[in-house]
Structure 1
Amino acid sequence: MPLPRTAAVVAAALSAASLVWTSAPAQAQSDPVPSKCMAIAQALPFVTFASYTPAQATRASGDVTITYAGHSTYVIESPGGVRVATDYSGVYGRDPLPRVITMNKAHSTHFTNNPDPGIEYVLPGWNPDGGEPARHALVVDDVYIRNVTTDIRRFGTMEENANSIFIFEVADLCIGHLGHLHHALTDQHYGAIGRLDIVMVPVDGGMTQSLANMSEITTRLYSSIVLPMHRHSTPMGEFVAMMGEGFAVDRRAERSFTVSLRELPRRPTILILQGV
């Protein structure tokens, strides 16, 4: 069966970039770095080590900088200087150019057909070739990136495994980006995601899910820091009210903040950066 046009274009466009798949045993690392974020850490998916060094076995803690670039794009910068841009369309987060990008295909504002060839690792949340779900398990210096696939609505039906929740393990922090999440999460999803110290949540109130549904998911994840995104015209106060008094609210005049494991707030906090 031929690929849908969007997937075919993306597959062709990404051929010049480093598209990393980790479903083949030949790509597995014999001694993978264990996931610190898994709820039940038993076996890890096959991992491709892009820049592996023995020091990654301990993954020393440090400061992580997170910047709201726009729409659903956050830029994560590791202590080692690895820049990762989420839901990258080429509009936000491109200067300086990230080393890694993740994408989702719900709308063209969440992916690009023409990623800059200077981007080393391009990780779509869907499989452009069709068939098996996208499966990423990638280590780039001091960052480990994996995904949990979800479905999306398309023309009134659900397309299976068409998008991904991406999890970034860096400096002992577990950072999750929910992407363009269109449905409730099952126990299996939560188990595959594991602990999230920081979670990026779409709060548009309808294009993804209702605020009631999204607040329920966010409450169950119970992350130390909640970063809203994909807001559109929804008043931020509506999402904050849905989350209730169990979550503090911290509004910032800056687009960036720096955090480490030891600096996480004791009370779960909705952190609203400038521009959200």
Structure 2
Amino acid sequence: MPATPARRATPVRSLVRFAAFVAVLILGWILPIAAMRPAVGQPAAPAAPAAPERLDTCPGLVSRTSPRIVPAAVVPAALAPDQARVTYIGHSTFLIESPRQVRVATDYNDYVKPPVVPDIATMNRAHSTHYTLSPDPGIRFVLHGWRDDGKPAGHDISYQDVHVRSVATNIRDWAGGTARHGNSIFVIEVGTLCIAHLGHLHHTLTPQQVSEIGRVDVVLVPVDGSYTLDLEGMIEVIAALKAPLMIPMHFFSRYTLDRFLERVKSDYEIEFAETPTVVLSKTTLPAKPKFLVLPGR
């Protein structure tokens, strides 16, 4: 019997369906590959850089843990040409930064150290907490406040926008006598400010020393009243220098600090800062002489 038209059409329909199925398979394979190829005329994207082997080799990391997220407000702002940033690290060590990012660390030692390597480090030799015999090799200028031959240290250097000079003072030696020129007061000129770090001062200043120090805007003052100069003597030094702003240091405990502040509060304004860092300029200096207490020890 001859085939009906419906049965003759069945192979054709099957062939069409099979062809469509094959086309879908081919397109499903080709299109994803084409999408991954770069467009004509555009260079292929560079491969992602390999991750470093050790995270602690990255600049600024202080530990081998994951990097911390630092709020934008914590990042130090750039300084104006007339400003200086002063951070109390502890004991007698301050980090002083200039508008051109020159860093000076005072009484640099192995125990209380700033978080960055300074460009300039000043030292005094009263105790090992005021100097080191193995300073970081990255420090450009290491300034000892003494000389082994007993002569004044006599530092006078300029680096970028910072000028540092020293004024020699005497110091008590371990035998109870006097070591001439064994300590230095360092005067740091930065921005438009003159900042004097008294070091481990053991006596009041002579008129010649006051003249050599000259006009200063900020004095970093040891206030322990025993290891350095006694309270009355230190108050005499402050009065002779006539600086508008004093920042206490070398006080070991809150008791020692309060004892000194109690003694001076009738003559000087006292302000307690919430953070150990302050940005100073000539225009922000107080009209009346003041002690600014930065958190530290």
Query: Scaled by the length of structure 2, what TM-score is found?
Result: 0.70
Q: Which one has a larger percent helix, Structure 1 or Structure 2? A: 2
- CA deviation after TM superposition for structure 1 residue 131, in Å: 4.7
* Cα distance, 1:63 vs structure 2: 1.7
**Alignment-derived partner of residue 150 in structure 1:** 169
- The question of 1:187 aligning with 2:207 is answered yes
Q: Distance in 2 between matches of 1:120 and 1:66?
A: 20
Note if contact 2:219-2:247 (Cα within 8 Å) is conserved in structure 1.
Answer: yes
1:67, 1:257 within 8 Å by CA — same for their partners in 2?
yes
Could you say which residue in structure 2 is the equivalent of 1:119? 139
Matches for 1:18-97 after TM superposition, within 5 Å: 61-97=81-117
Question: Which 5+ residue runs of structure 1 have no aligned equivalent?
Answer: 1-59
User: Which digits, 9 at most, give the CA deviation of each residue in 1:20-64, with x for residues without a partner?
Assistant: xxxxxxxxxxxxxxxxxxxxxxxxxxxxxxxxxxxxxxxx94221
- Residue type of the partner of 1:115? P
Alpha-carbon shift at residue 220 of structure 1 (Å): 2.0
1:139 pairs, out of 158, 161, 167, with 158
* Residue 105 (structure 1) aligns with: 125
Say whether residues 1:263 and 2:284 are aligned partners.
yes
Q: Which residue of 2 aligns with 1:241?
A: 262
Report the Cα distance in structure 1 between the residues aligned to 2:264 and 2:114, rounded to whole angstroms.
32
Which of the two has higher C-alpha Rg? 2
d(CA) in 2 for partners of 1:80, 1:67: 16
Map of 1:204 onto structure 2: 224
Q: 2:201 & 2:160 partners in 1: Cα distance?
A: 29
Please tell me the residue identity of whatever aligns with 2:135.
P
In the other structure, the counterpart of 2:179 is 159
Alpha-carbon distance, 1:185 to partner: 0.7
Paired amino acid for 2:216: L
Mapped partners of 1:185, 1:246: distance in 2: 20
Deviation at 1:90, TM superposition (A): 3.0
Q: Which has the higher contact order (CA 8 A, sep 6+)?
A: 1
Corresponding residue SS for 2:125: coil
Instruction: Confirm or deny: 8 A CA contact 2:150 2:182 kept in the other structure.
Output: no
- Equivalent-residue separation in structure 1 for 2:221 and 2:233 (angstroms): 11
Deviation at 1:151, TM superposition (A): 0.7
- Percent identical pairs in the alignment equals 44
Deviation readout 1:89-119 (Å, 9 max, x if unpaired): 0333332111100000000100001001011
Instruction: Structure 2 unaligned segments of length 5 or more: list them.
Output: 1-79
**Contact 2:150-2:181 within 8 A present in 1 as well:** no
Following the alignment from structure 2 to structure 1, what is the Cα–Cα distance between the partners of residues 140 and 132? 15
Q: 2: distance between equivalents of 1:238 and 1:105?
A: 26
In 2, the alpha carbon distance for the partners of 1:134 and 1:125 equals 6
Separation in 1, partners of 2:117, 2:151? 30
Taking structure 1 as the reference length, what is the TM-score of the superposition? 0.75
Q: 2:220 & 2:150 partners in 1: Cα distance?
A: 28
AA matched with 2:195: I
1:4 alignment partner in structure 2: none
Question: Aligned to 2:113, what secondary structure does the other structure show?
Answer: coil
